[in-house]
């Protein structure tokens, strides 16, 4: 039995839910998102509480039960509060700045790295070493943050690079001197 799939999702005020075929449309104050609903799973909306039920006990249906509920919950939270990921930059001379809709990064290369802001995502640079990626789609926010981090991943000796704000870098000891 899926523990996640059994949990009901309470809809906040100003959130509308509509199922059209194999998609669920979630409309809220911040925007509109769509999430898939798979065959064998049905949605029941009663008095602002959404419950997902499965029609059979096949392995595939059982596996998708919790997934559908989790994706729907992410959409509800996205259109009401939004999602955000925070990144930090470490390294001498490393910095970030915003030029128009582009994020311009100096990461120790011989050139500046220009990262265009995707549609539906807002990138803020709070100071030169902190980047905030925010939006309503959880998957897109996470993917954009991962793409920015991949431009210069933190190295294990000095920790230079771009890391998530809550990430801990495993540090290695450097080489020791000759005796």
Model pLDDT, residue 37: 92
For the ranges 74-88, 116-130, 162-176, which has the lowest average pLDDT?
162-176
- Report whether 35 contacts 79 (CB < 8 A): no
Task: Give me the helix-helix angle, 59-80 and 138-149, nearest 10°.
Answer: 80
Question: Burial level of 39, CB count in 10 A (0-12/13-18/19+)?
Answer: exposed
**Residue 77, C-beta contacts closer than 8 angstroms, at least 6 positions apart:** 83, 138
Among 67, 68, 61, smallest CA distance to 24 is for: 68
Q: Is the pLDDT of residue 168 over 80?
A: yes
- Report whether 157 contacts 174 (CB < 8 A): yes
Average of per-residue pLDDT across 165-172: 91
Q: Which CATH architecture has domain 83-164?
A: Alpha-Beta Complex (3.90)
Note the pLDDT tens digit of each residue in 16-51: 999 988 999 999 999 999 999 998 999 999 988 999
Q: What is the mean pLDDT of the chain?
A: 92
Q: Is the pLDDT of residue 179 over 80?
A: no
Q: Where in the chain is the domain with CATH 3.90.930.12?
A: 3-80, 83-164
Q: Is the pLDDT of residue 58 over 80?
A: yes
Q: Is the pLDDT of residue 1 over 90?
A: no
Residue 178: pLDDT band by 50, 70, 90 thresholds?
low
Global confidence as pTM: 0.89
- CATH T-level topology, domain 3-80: Outer Surface Protein A; domain 3 (3.90.930)
Q: Is the pLDDT of residue 91 over 80?
A: yes
Distance CA 23, CA 3 (A): 23
- Report whether 54 contacts 70 (CB < 8 A): no
């Amino acid at each position: 039995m899926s523990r996640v799939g059994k949990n009901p999702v309470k809809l906040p005020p100003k959130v509308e839910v509509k199922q059209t075929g194999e998609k669920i449309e979630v409309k809220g104050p911040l925007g509109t998102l769509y999430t898939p609903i798979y065959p064998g799973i049905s949605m029941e909306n009663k008095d602002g509480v959404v419950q997902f039920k499965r029609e059979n006990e096949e392995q595939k249906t059982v596996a998708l039960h919790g997934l559908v509920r989790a994706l729907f919950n992410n959409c509800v939270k996205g259109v009401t509060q939004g999602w955000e990921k925070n990144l930090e930059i470490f390294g001498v001379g490393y910095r970030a700045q915003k030029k128009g809709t582009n994020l311009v990064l100096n990461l120790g290369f011989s050139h500046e790295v220009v990262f265009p802001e995707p549609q539906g995502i807002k990138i803020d640079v709070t100071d030169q070493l902190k980047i905030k990626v925010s939006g309503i789609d959880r998957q897109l926010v996470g993917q954009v943050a991962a793409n920015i981090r991949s431009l210069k991943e933190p190295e294990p000796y000095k920790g230079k690079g771009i890391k998530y704000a809550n990430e801990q870098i495993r540090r290695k000891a450097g080489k020791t001197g000759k005796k």
